Structures are given as C-alpha cells and as structure tokens.
Structure 1
C-alpha cells in the first residue's frame, strides 16, 4: 500500500484490534516454531528460506514500486543495505540461532525488551533526552533480562554459565535496536510496500553467502518434507508478512501509544504455546524477570513507542 493510499484508507478500529492481538501471537509462534524445528532445519537455512518465500509472495506486488523508485533506492543504497543487515539478516538469523540452546519463553521475554534497547541506543547514539522515569524503566527491564538470563541464580552470571542462546537473543535485540535508530537517522522516502520488499530483497542477498557457507561446510542443509516446509511457510507468512501488515495498520488506526501495549502479549502467548507444544514450564525466575521487564517497559515507553516491524 502506498503512503498516499494509507492516508486515505478507511479506519477500521475493530479490524485493527483483531490484527494487534494476532500480531504478538504470530511473533510468539515464531519463537515456538523455531524452537520446535531447529533440530531439523539449521538456523541459517531457516532464516534464508523464510525470506526467500516471503520475497516470492511479495515481489509481484512490490516490484512495480521498486522499479518506480529505483533512483531513490540507488541514492540511499548504503542506508538500505545497513538497515537490511540489522533487521532482516541479523535479527532473524540470531533469533533462530538462539532457539538452538534456549527456550521459546526466554526468547519471547528478551524479545519483548526491544523498546528498551531502542530507547537506550537512541540516548547513546542520537542524544535523545532520557527522563528519570524512562531511565528507571530501562534499568528495571535490564534487571529483568539479567534475571531471565541468569535463571534466577547470580552464580550463573558470575560463573559465566549463562545459556548461549539467551546471550545470542540479547545480541538479536541489540541488532533490532540499531536498525530502529538507523531508521530514524537515515529515513528512506519510500512507500511502505516498496520499502519492505526492498529490505527483504537486500536482506536475503546478505544472508545468501553465509547460508551457502553453512550449507557446504557446516550444517549440510535440511531435507525438504511436509515437516520442514510447513514451518518455513509459517515463518514467511505469519510473523513475516501478516504481522507486519497488521502491526502497521494498527498503529495507523488507533495510534502508536495504544498499539504498543499489545507488544506485551508476546511473552504471554509464547509461554502458553511453549507449554502446550514444547512442554516448557514457567519457573519463578520467569515470573520475576517478566514482571521486571513489564514494569520497565511501561515506564520506559510512556512517551515513545515502536514503529513498524517485520520479524
């Protein structure tokens, strides 16, 4: 949808709320399905083929915009490549690597702190002013992350025994924070569909050499079957294309402040789905860490909310 069409599109609050509930459900499913299939599909294969499928679906609709705005894309090529690297390529690949050694619940809890990392990096890199309440929120959320990573045991941190997947997921969230800050600093004047299609195209090309190296020298790829094809279709369609569209429609219809609240449903949905499909159980450290993260998010995002997303 072009920016002009988006401005004239009718507002449909009911549909927007439904979409904003489905979006964190799809994001939670991304973590749960990744955790459940990572033994059959290597992380880089998961990331690469997810975006190839999404690109195949989007390209017939997005290609005309790419051709029409090719001069703008060429003029902002460096920015577009950097944005694609931190979002499409790095964030999703790291999330799938995290799924090898940590739980879907931990992935979702750490993933929910994206607004914290955006606020922190905006303060460090853009010089955004941080109010006392926002600083307190950042501190609480970071304490919550440490609680989850340490699994409630300080000796895990002091003994450097944290799950590698938790640390990889922190790196993934940091990568998305960099993307968000760069998006503000180096905004590219493109319609949403054209921007999304271009980002997925560039991100897929960036992943390609790493995927080929992994295919030849490390994982050997995966066997295509119904059990591997269905998760890839899910990754491409639901947390990818549909969640992105629902999220942006919700932000446009009810405003970013109200839409941001729905992000907090992601770890709730993930814990339920992980309990049903992966037999994951909630520990006391999940409750404490999740409570600290939620309190921190509520404080830190009172005046700033995340924008469009594609995970």
Structure 2
C-alpha cells in the first residue's frame, strides 16, 4: 500500500508513536550507550538510509544550499548535533516521561524566541498560553515542590532537556526563515552529514576513553537502528506526508501525543510510573500550547516540513 492510501491521521499517529519511543529508547540504553555514541551512530544510520532518497534532489539543489550554507551549518548544529544528543544526555539523569513532557513546551519557546528576535506581536491568547505553559514546565522540573522552586533545586536532566528544547526552537526559527529558500530533503541530508562531522570527535572520545562504558548487545544495536531508521527517516516521511494531506494547523495538534505515547511505553517497557506532578504539569503545558495554537504563531513550527524531521 502506497503512502497516499494511508489515512493522514494514521500517518501522523505513526510519527508521534515513533518520536515518543525515541525518549524511552534513550532512557532504556542509558547504561549501555553513552549519549554521543548513540547520537553519532543514529545519524550515520539515518544518512545511509536517506542518501538514496535525497541524492538526486541534492545534486539538483546543491547550489542553493551552498548559497545559504551558514544557515545550514547552524541548522546542523542546533537540530542534528545538539538537540538529540542533549536529549540523550538528559535521559541519563531524568525519566523519559519528564523529558517528553518538557519537549511539549517547544512551541511556546519558539513563540518566545520569535517575539524576542523577530519582534512578533503578543496577543492575549499567546500571553496567557505562554504563562500557563511555563508554569507547567516549572511544575515538572520542580516536581511540584514550591521549596525546590524557591531554592532553585532542579534535576540536572530536566535542565539539560530545557537546553535541548531551546536548541530545537532556534533550529525551528531558522527553518521558518529559510522555508521558501532551502529545499527540504536535500537540506535535511546535508544537515545530517554536517551533524555527523560535528559529533565525530565526541564519538571518538567516548569509544577510546576507558572510563566510558559501552555495551554492544542486541538491545543497544536495535536502539541505534530504531532511532536511525524509524525515529528519524520513517517518522519524517510519515509526518510530512500527513502534514501535506491534512494541513499544518490540524497536524500540529498531533504533536501532543508524543508525551502520551512516551509515558505509555515508559510504564509498559522500562518500569517508569506517571507521577501526579508530571500529569499536572503536562496538562498545563498542553493547555498553554492549545491556547497559543489558535494564533498564527503556531505555524512557526507546524507548517514547515523541515522542522519535524529529526525528533
């Protein structure tokens, strides 16, 4: 069955299921694969799989990419080399449920950055939604404890995850700015290749450092294949096809399923449990996103094909 015969809502659900699984996989193999090794091998796998699909567009569009190479370089740093690596580092210190819930704040941070750097206006819904979502984020990282909040006593993994989301938000702003200038598939392939080069020295450090323990097993190798093939390429194709057929605004709502699937998989497969503060904080974040999604600013993340390809 061709992709066009699959209902668009199902394609979008498949993408969010695969992205939700990425958080659980990163947590599950934290004791077997160090973060830079997992990120490096993930993108090597993705590059091998995606190369045959994007090689012809790359040859055709290379001059355009070269013209905007500084932007592509920064996209590679924030979206490929940094985001998922920071996620995997965070998952050494926090739960996959927490990390996925923190990730739902991405549209809000994109909105904040667009207000700061692009001078976009604030509407009433955007201001209310931003405040509600930020309260939700604070609720998650403080574990619902006012004392932790007042003492700035936060989990290191949650803070690293927040930095990861900021990187993704910066990447998304670049994608928005260059959406009409850079070709999708070819830019994605070049971004992957540059990201691999950036990650290579850190990968070498981890595999040659006796203090860093790497366990090669069926689980760790399967995790590399899952993140490289399914969480990167398959999810990217499913998401973009679904967005084209259903529309960006309607498709964007499906991103809220990522923490739902991540929490479900975490409970079923790695023994995590959903805490009250996580549920409450997640509801606040999603409520804030819903309010801001009623405005045009939501399109900064959802209307762009590139900005969803590497979750």
TM-score in terms of structure 1 length: 0.92
Q: Return 5+ residue gaps in structure 2 as ranges.
A: none
Distance change in 2, residues 1:139/1:219 (3 Å): farther
Distance change in 2, residues 1:121/1:15 (3 Å): same
Q: Which residue of 2 aligns with 1:162?
A: 154
TM-score in terms of structure 2 length: 0.92
Q: Distance in 2 between matches of 1:116 and 1:142?
A: 8
Answer yes or no: is 1:63 the counterpart of 2:55. Answer: yes
| Aligned length in residues | 302
> Any idea what the Cα deviations from partners look like across 1:124-170, whole Å, max 9, x if unmatched?
11111121111110111111000000001022222232110111111
Q: Which residue of 1 aligns with 2:64?
A: 72
Q: Which residue of 2 aligns with 1:263?
A: 255
Q: Return 5+ residue gaps in structure 1 as ranges.
A: 1-9
Q: Distance in 1 between matches of 2:237 and 2:264?
A: 24
Answer yes or no: is 1:86 the counterpart of 2:94. Answer: no
1:120 alignment partner, SS class: helix
Q: Distance in 1 between matches of 2:67 and 2:107?
A: 29
Q: Which residue of 2 aligns with 1:236?
A: 228
Answer yes or no: is 1:178 the counterpart of 2:170. Answer: yes
1:251 alignment partner, SS class: helix
Q: Distance in 1 between matches of 2:248 and 2:58?
A: 27
Q: Distance in 2 between matches of 1:112 and 1:38?
A: 22
- Residue among 283, 290, 294 paired with 2:286: 294
Q: Which residue of 2 aligns with 1:6?
A: none
2:7 alignment partner, SS class: helix
For the aligned residue pairs, the C-alpha RMSD in angstroms reads: 1.8
1:299 alignment partner, SS class: helix
- Residue among 94, 111, 114 paired with 2:106: 114
Contact (CA 8 Å) 2:61, 2:183: kept in 1 or not?
no
Q: Which residue of 1 aligns with 2:39?
A: 47
- Residue among 18, 26, 47 paired with 1:34: 26
